Structure 1
Amino acid sequence: MPIALLKFPNDLLREVFRLCDPFELYRLSKCSKQLSQRSITLRETKNWKITYWGGNVITIWVDGSNYNFNQTDNPEDYFQVTLGRYSNYMDIEFPNGGGVDLFFYLLDTLGICIVKLLEITFGTVANVSKVAKVLVDRNMDIERFGIGNVEEVQDVVNFMPMLSQMNITKEFNCFLNFPPDFHFKFVKYPRKINITDASWFTIDQLLDCTCVRIELENSSFNNHDLDVFLQKWKMTGTFPNLRRLRIQSDLIDNQSPILEMIPPIQTVNNPMIRVSINGHGEIVDGVRVIKDDGAVGWLKVEIGDWSELNFLIADPADTVVEEISDDEDDDW
């Protein structure tokens, strides 16, 4: 028997909308324009988050479960739902504007205020650019932003000024190899950056960085650059957020000192010392470094085919310092 939802009082209709999952709200919004408008007017702002890779799938995250809206051209499959333990799927007809139009339809219809992930993948630079521009205009937070190793390198170069306007709060991941003459400077930093081709990331940017975690591969930093950074870190009040730094560079060598130590820099203890933050990002046999305000850092610099600096700043609240035997290290 059909239910005349539009005849429900607003308080009751609002409760109906509150109990719906993303698929149910979407289906209700498609029943009629009037019901769609009522659902937008009466629905509450939710803590749901949206994810978009620029293609034909958009995901809504709800308390650890993913609701995936998949594009289909077969009318017989419209609104077909497959439920899983953590991921659920519904086939729908995308609007004429494709994934970009659907992204904003879901954003408004479902009352979403946070983007969980926005990522450029192969062939999606144009779509992600359109979405990013509107998110900037709406001053919305983007928790994580990623750039894959795509072929449209120049299109990504052209996109990068938009990155300076985006409010990326948690994480920036970049796996793209930019041209040798590429330059970019962050205006603001998220909590974490992970760049696999960091030749464009300068020492000036590192000295200004406010991240909690920094991971830079294929960088152009040499011993002098790293020494300048660590000497600044030792000063009271500098880099108050930093907990973890990992820098790989072919220019790290054994010719000049870092903090008055010639690489490789590590202790040779028996038993060995392993330091980790909540069980992650461990450093084995690092050298203890003391900041002027008494904070403790653990530094390890390795040279060879993969020259790398690892630095961890300890906090008694979450840092574990433990002894490990040679046998345990081999097993680990």
Structure 2
Amino acid sequence: MLFDLQVEFKMLAIRHNGSEDENLLFNEMSSNFGLIEYLSISNVYDHSFRLVFTSWPQEITIMRSAWFTLKYVLACTCTRITLKGSRLGNKDLDEVLRKWKAGGFGNMERLKIYSKNIKNNRTKILGMSLSELEGKVIQSENGLKKATITTNVRSIEMSVTPFE
């Protein structure tokens, strides 16, 4: 009912237990996520769960984000995305960073992904190993933005700023 008032919310925290009724409610609410500045989702244990995002909050943090696939990331219009417990790996990150370099993610200010599948192995991200990416500054192809990459054990962060 609160969403029917078209009121904007500073923050909405959802603790998802995975029930069928809750899944339906969650998907119904998702059409109003654009009214939310910061959305935090936790406790999604059901990896088969698929939320239908018809609008996006400005900022999103998802704990236990194994269900938040590459497809979601590529469609996301949030300015800040934090995924903990993700299943995304180096190949996924390569695709995300290539999309950003090509001018995608126009709103992106920060992306943080924590995943056991992010590894310093032979799988390259932008042609580099995870350790080679540490501290790199990459520029978008249109020259308007730059991103500083920070890596750690099983995590990557991209902070975007206008190019000066």
1:302 maps to 2:149 = no
CA contact (8 A) 1:297 1:314 kept: yes
1:177 Cα deviation (Å)?
A: 2.7
Tell me what 1:156 maps to.
22
Aligned ranges for residues 247-326 of structure 1 at < 5 Å? Answer: 247-253=113-119, 254-267=121-134, 286-294=135-143, 295-303=145-153, 307-315=154-162
Residues 104-123 of structure 1 show CA distances to partners (whole Å, capped at 9, x for unaligned) of: xxxxxxxxxxxxxxxxxxxx
3-state SS of paired residue (1:164): helix
CA contact (8 A) 1:265 1:301 kept: no
Q: Number of paired residues?
A: 160
Aligned ranges for residues 128-277 of structure 1 at < 5 Å? Answer: 134-148=1-15, 152-154=17-19, 155-167=21-33, 168-236=35-103, 238-253=104-119, 254-267=121-134
Q: Distance in 2 between matches of 1:139 and 1:308?
A: 36
1:153 Cα deviation (Å)?
A: 3.5
Q: Distance in 2 between matches of 1:174 and 1:144?
A: 11
Tell me what 1:23 maps to.
none
Q: Distance in 2 between matches of 1:266 and 1:247?
A: 14
Residues 33-73 of structure 1 show CA distances to partners (whole Å, capped at 9, x for unaligned) of: xxxxxxxxxxxxxxxxxxxxxxxxxxxxxxxxxxxxxxxxx
1:144 Cα deviation (Å)?
A: 1.6
Residues 101-140 of structure 1 show CA distances to partners (whole Å, capped at 9, x for unaligned) of: xxxxxxxxxxxxxxxxxxxxxxxxxxxxxxxxx1233333
Change over 3 Å in CA distance of 1:231–1:266 after alignment to 2 = closer
3-state SS of paired residue (2:131): coil
Tell me what 1:120 maps to.
none
For residue 117 of structure 2, what is the amino acid of its counterpart? L
Q: Distance in 1 between matches of 2:113 and 2:55?
A: 20
CA contact (8 A) 2:23 2:51 kept: no
CA RMSD of aligned residues (A): 2.0
Residues 243-281 of structure 1 show CA distances to partners (whole Å, capped at 9, x for unaligned) of: 1000011111213000100122445xxxxxxxxxxxxxx
Q: Distance in 1 between matches of 2:130 and 2:163?
A: 28
CA contact (8 A) 1:265 1:299 kept: no
Residues 198-249 of structure 1 show CA distances to partners (whole Å, capped at 9, x for unaligned) of: 111111111111111100011111111110010010013x211101000011
Q: Distance in 2 between matches of 1:259 and 1:135?
A: 44
* TM value normalised by structure 2: 0.87
1:299 Cα deviation (Å)?
A: 0.9
CA contact (8 A) 2:27 2:52 kept: no
Q: Distance in 2 between matches of 1:248 and 1:199?
A: 10
Task: Answer with 1 or 2: which has the greater Rg.
Answer: 1
1:180 Cα deviation (Å)?
A: 2.2
- Extract structure 1 runs of 4+ deviating beyond 3 A: none
Give the unaligned 5+ runs of structure 1: 1-133, 268-285, 318-332
